[in-house]
Amino acid sequence: MPELPEVETLRRQLRPHLEGRSLAAVTVSDPRLCAPVPTATLAARLRGRTVTSVERRGKYMLWALDDGAWLALHLRMTGNLFLTTAPRAPYERARFAIDRDLAVAFCDPRRFGTARLFADGEELAAQLLDRLGPEPLSNAFDATVLARAFARRRAPVKALLLDQRTVAGIGNIYADEALFRAGIHPARPAGRLLRRDLERLVAGIRDALRAGIEHGGASIDDFRHPDGRRGNFQNEFLVHRRAGLPCPRCGTAVRKERIAGRGTYFCGRCQAASRSRKRPARSAASSSLKPPTDRPPTTT
């Protein structure tokens, strides 16, 4: 599933093509994309509107329109937004034509992605965005925020990181990478983390997300850039999808277990299950930590 860095990558690359441009023609070919709103209704409300701004909140792509409305796109598991000159793209569910020869195609093989139109920013916030936790790269996110969210919670810390009400935009990849950088076992009860653990976790989250953005997101299965290119962050993973390969810090084989209902990758030595275990000498959140040269498979 595209996470914050993948959606941010799409936002940055689509922005020059969309901002200030009119949606000359809109076609919604899959009723599931905008249900319960009829496809013809959504297309008619968007047609002719100018995109004034392309924004992101968590995993949502947000298009501000010149009439004050907002279009919220969520890619879910396999969605992509492609710039295309072809009459139709593979797995196309909607098309937003921005001139005679160029369009943005919403393509989604598994058809879980969604498109919702909100009348204005207040409706968007009240019905959608206010339900999300803080942006992890903003000043609103810090150890105090995590302390409040984790207080008295027995659930594994990874489970709460995947909960978009805790912090927006983190999914399975970046939870694994952030927890490794922070030296925290993914199954540790969130409420038992100490203040220093939370501070390392905030740093680890930010470090993992910034690395993902820097490398154009991760293309493990479906994610692609608007021009069809792959992201490169899968080549920089420290633990995710590296089961059996050496930990980049200590050399111990990376483990895979099912935690919080998801396949979870971690180093059993660097990420101690008990806080009584001695911390590694070097912080995993250090930007100098490099991925190993051996690579895991890029397919499941």
Positions marked catalytic:
2-3, 59, 262
Peptide bond into 136 cis (omega under 30): no
User: CA–CA separation, 212 vs 254, rounded Å?
Assistant: 20
DSSP string, 86-103: SSS-TTEEEEEESSSS-E
Quickly list H helices, the chain: 4-18, 31-34, 39-46, 121-127, 143-150, 157-162, 172-182, 195-214
Q: Tell me the one-letter amino acid at 157.
A: V
Joined tokens for residue 122:
């207040």
Three-state DSSP class for residue 82:
strand
Q: How many CA atoms lie within 13 A of 285 on its CB side?
A: 20
Under 8 Å CB-to-CB from 203, ≥6 apart: which residues?
181, 182, 283, 285
